[in-house]
């Protein structure tokens, strides 16, 4: 059974702080890794994708991938109250290419 | 540029009924997949289609079926609805290059309630 594990939270950080979200996955052949943001009652929105080991930065977001440890993380710098949402980690499931999601981490940024 | 569009947005059905959900992918995307999301969980994979062929199926009963049309739109059918089928049904499309899927974009979803 291919699995993606996330800490469900809630993770609470003060405004302006760095939020760190973590994810581990079980399938070593996973090739593509994604972070989605989902506001309550809305559909997931893609915020970061990463395909090779190392860091990838996009604005206030940095995704980190370590395939040897089967670990993906998302850092959100200068957190804003508008970042309060559930963050879903997803990996592709081998040759099928479908996404396998974690249960999500709920982030709360306090003003 | 239109994103992934799904219809209807909300639906209420009675146990035992049948439902059809529809999805139009982003223009140029040939891959469409369907996911079910129940409250408090991440989306669960139901089906994946590419170039009108089923490329993957998740762990869902045969009551669930889908197809993709020549214009790459897709529909998801669920027969003999159960209360447990109540969920947000999400459609996603993705560009593909060299057999790899990139950046799945989700539609706004169809909220199905079975009573």
Q: Determine the average pLDDT of the residues in B48-53.
A: 91
pLDDT of residue B1: 61
Interface A-B: count of C-beta contacts within 8 A: 66
pLDDT of residue B91: 98
| Interchain contact, A100 vs B45, CB within 8 Å | yes
Residue of A99, A100, A104 to mutate when probing chain B, most B C-beta within 10 A:
A99
Percent pLDDT > 90 in chain A is 84
Q: Which residues of B touch A103 (CB under 8 A)?
A: 40-42
pLDDT of residue B2: 79
Smallest CA–CA distance, residue A10 to chain B, in Å, is 12
Number of H helices, E strands in chain B: 0, 13
pLDDT tens, B84-104? 999 999 999 988 776 677 789
Choose among A32, A34, A42: nearest Cβ to B100. Answer: A32
Mean pLDDT is lowest, of A21-35, A84-98, B29-43, B68-82, for A84-98
Output the CA–CA distances (angstroms, integers) from residue B66 to B9, B35, B50, in the order listed: 18, 12, 12
Nearest to B19 by CA among B72, B64, B74: B64
Name A20's bridge partners.
A75
pLDDT tens, A8-57? 889 999 999 999 999 999 988 888 899 999 999 999 999 999 999 999 99
pLDDT of residue A1: 73
pLDDT tens, A70-103? 999 999 999 999 999 999 999 986 666 789 999 9
3-state secondary structure of A4: strand
CB B26 within 8 A of CB B105: yes
Choose among B43, B96, B102: nearest Cβ to A101. Answer: B43
Beta strand segments in B1-115, E: 5-7, 10-13, 19-24, 31-37, 44-50, 53-57, 64-68, 74-78, 87-94, 96-97, 100-101, 105-106, 110-114
């Amino acid at each position: 059974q291919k699995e993606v594990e996330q800490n469900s939270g809630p993770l609470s950080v003060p405004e302006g702080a760095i939020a760190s979200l973590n994810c581990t996955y079980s399938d070593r052949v996973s090739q593509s890794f994604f972070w989605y943001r989902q506001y309550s009652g809305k559909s997931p929105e893609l915020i970061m994708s990463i395909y090779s080991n190392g860091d990838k930065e996009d604005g206030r977001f940095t995704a980190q991938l370590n395939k040897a440890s089967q670990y993906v993380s998302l850092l959100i710098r200068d957190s804003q109250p508008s970042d309060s949402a559930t963050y879903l980690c997803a990996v592709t499931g081998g040759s099928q290419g479908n996404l396998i999601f974690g249960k999500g981490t709920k982030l709360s940024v306090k003003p | 540029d239109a994103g992934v569009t799904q219809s209807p947005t909300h639906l209420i059905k009675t146990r035992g009924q049948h439902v059809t959900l529809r999805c139009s992918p982003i223009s140029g995307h040939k891959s469409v997949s369907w996911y079910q999301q129940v409250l408090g969980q991440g989306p669960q994979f139901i089906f994946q289609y590419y170039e009108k062929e089923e490329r993957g199926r998740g762990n869902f009963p045969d009551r669930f079926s889908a197809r993709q049309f020549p214009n790459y739109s897709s529909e998801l059918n669920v027969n003999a609805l159960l209360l447990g089928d109540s969920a947000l049904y999400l459609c996603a499309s993705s560009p593909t290059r060299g057999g790899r899927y990139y950046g799945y974009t989700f539609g706004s979803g169809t909220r199905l309630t079975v009573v």
